[in-house]
Amino acid sequence: MKNKAVATPTRTKEILETYGFAFKKSLGQNFLIDVNILKNIIEHAGIDREAGAIEIGPGIGALTEQLAIHADRVVAFEIDQRLLPILEDTLADYDNVAVINKDILQADVNEVIAAQFKEGQPIKVVANLPYYITTPILMKLLMGRLPVESITVMIQKEVAERMAASPNTKSYGSLSIAVQYYTEAEVSMNVPKTVFMPQPNVDSSVLHLKMREEPPVQVENEEFFFDLVQATFGQRRKTLMNNLARHFKESMDKQEIRKRLEAAEIDPGRRGESLSMEEFAVLAHYFYEK
C-alpha cells in the first residue's frame, strides 16, 4: 500500500511531475488535494461496503482511491486518455476499480451498470464534475432513469444553489424544477477554492440528489412541462402573462392565455419564480393541447 493518499498536495505534484501531465483547460480539470473533503463527500453519499459507485472524471484518482477503500466496486468514466496510465499506477493497489475511457455523455450507462455491478446492488454516482459541463451531465443521468439511488457531486456553488433552490428566491429557476422533478436536492457542504489544484475561479459545493421513485407532480407530457417552465423564466423580470405571450405567439393570443391562466387560478401578473412545482403542473395541464 502506498503510504500517502493521492489527494495531498505533495503526492499530486509528484504524480503530475512523474508523468509530465499538463492540465487541459478545455476539460475543466481541477484535482482535489484534501483527503478530509473527500471523506466527507463519501459520507454524504452514503457509500458503504455494499454499494457500487460510479465516478465521472476521476482525474489522477484522488476520489477514486477513497471510493475504492469504502465501496464494494467503483466504475470511473474518464475522457482524457493521458490519464489512463496514471490511474493504472495510482489505483494499482485496488482490484475493485474499473476505468472506462469514454465520454459519459456518449456512454450507455445502463449497459455499463448491467455489466459491471451485481444485480440489485445499491448504486450511487459520486463525482467532482467539470464545471463547464455539469448541467448536461446531470440532466443525462436524471433523464436516463438510471437504476441509481443517489448522485453526490462537487459542482460550482452557484449552480448547486440553483439546483436546490426554493420558490421566491433569486436562485430558483427552470433548472431547480428540472432537477427537483427527478430528485430531492440539498446542498450538503461548501468547499473553498484552496482544496483544488489548480485553484478554480469559483467556490464549490457538494450537491446531494436523492432519486425519487415517482415525480412529485403528474404531468401529461414531460417535454411540454419543461418547455413551459423554461418559457416562464424566459425574461425573469417579466410577468407570466408576458413570458407566455412571447412563448405562444404563433399559436395563442393574449386573450386565450388570460383565459387559461384564470382557469388554472394563477394570477397573470405573477412571475415564474413565485410558482411552486405543483402550480407549474397545473399551468401545464391548462396549456397542453391534447
Q: Which of 216, 241, 221 is nearest to 231 (CA)?
A: 241
Q: Is 30 annotated as a binding residue?
A: yes
Q: How far is CA 59 from CA 16, 21, 85, 93, 105, in A?
A: 11, 11, 11, 17, 17
Placement of cell 465521472 in the chain: 56
C-alpha 242/C-alpha 148 separation (Å) is: 40
Q: Is 158 annotated as a binding residue?
A: no
C-alpha 266/C-alpha 258 separation (Å) is: 9
Task: Determine how β-strand 150-156 pairs with β-strand 204-211.
Answer: antiparallel
Q: Which of 122, 146, 159, 7 is nearest to 69 (CA)?
A: 7
Q: Is 57 annotated as a binding residue?
A: yes
Q: Is 103 annotated as a binding residue?
A: yes
Q: Is 213 annotated as a binding residue?
A: no
191 CB burial (10 A radius; 0-12, 13-18, 19+): buried
Q: What are phi and psi of 93, to 5 degrees?
A: -80, -5
Instruction: List binding-site positions.
Output: 30, 32, 57, 78, 103, 128
Instruction: List binding-site positions for S-adenosyl-L-methionine.
Output: 30, 32, 57, 78, 103, 128
